[in-house]
Amino acid sequence: MKKIIPYRKIIQVGELNGSMIDKMVIILDKYYANTTRERFEKDLFSKTAAICLFNPQTDELIGFSTLREFIHQLQGSDYVILFSGDTIIEKEFWGSQELVFGFGEYMISMMKRFPEHEIYWFLISKGIRTYRYLPAFFKEYYPNHKTHTPEKQQQIMDSLATLFFGEDYDQKAGVISVKNAQFLKHEYLPGPYPRNETEAFYFKMNPGFVRGDELVCLTALKTDNICDFIKRALRIS
């Protein structure tokens, strides 16, 4: 059977209609425990846009990732931040690269719109599938198993995590632990054994991912930090 390849749209949050939001809640609730519409909408309406994936045969929403961009001031400097929110794809479409390329398109648009600023992707990861985006896309990202997080990047991470999560952020561990957090249902969890050093590092740093703990991550959005494969795929020179 020929694999169905979804198509993508980047939609501003204010342009999402009720039926699309309904479908987002249904998909999220299918895969995550402790999901409520109130919690989802509170997070969604704090975001800027959503990368939405659709089944080309039915035009039905089958996955999404919410995004927020803003200026963050720290120690006299202004940084442009891209903050990722809820991200989920229906299981039959796992392995599709459309969400990856949708994120790439959004990343490029930010680099074009803010050429004079330092831009960072602030990612909080409650699962290895999300964390894998970092080594797939970028040459340098933090935290990682190869290098120590530089002081500047650590300060940005700590500042952002404290801003959004306050006392739920354990600065020493680099992990956010929210009471009654959403967590991936058992049947959708990845295998218990890491396949490489990247996965082993993630499981070591965030052993509480099974209950919804999130590892705080950061990477610079700039041309020379993007992996060559992604540059070619996105036609970045």
What pLDDT shows up at residue 194?
A: 83
Q: Cα–Cα distance between 161 and 154 in angstroms, integer?
A: 10
Least confident stretch, 97-101, 121-125, 137-141, 163-167: 97-101
Confirm whether 80 is domain-assigned.
yes
Q: How does DSSP assign 126-171, residue by residue? A: SSHHHHTHHHHHBSS-BS-SSSPPPHHHHHHHHHHHHHHHGGGEET
Helix (H) / strand (E) element for 51: namely strand 49-54
What pLDDT shows up at residue 192?
A: 66
164-175 mean pLDDT: 97
Confirm whether 45 is domain-assigned.
yes
Confirm whether 67 is domain-assigned.
yes
- For position 21, which CATH number holds? 3.40.630.30
Query: Is residue 231 scored above 90 in pLDDT?
Result: no
Per-residue pLDDT tens over the stretch 38-83? 999 999 999 999 999 999 999 999 999 999 999 999 999 999 999 9
> 88: domain range?
7-234
Query: Is residue 19 scored above 90 in pLDDT?
Result: yes
Confirm whether 2 is domain-assigned.
no
Query: Is residue 237 scored above 70 in pLDDT?
Result: no
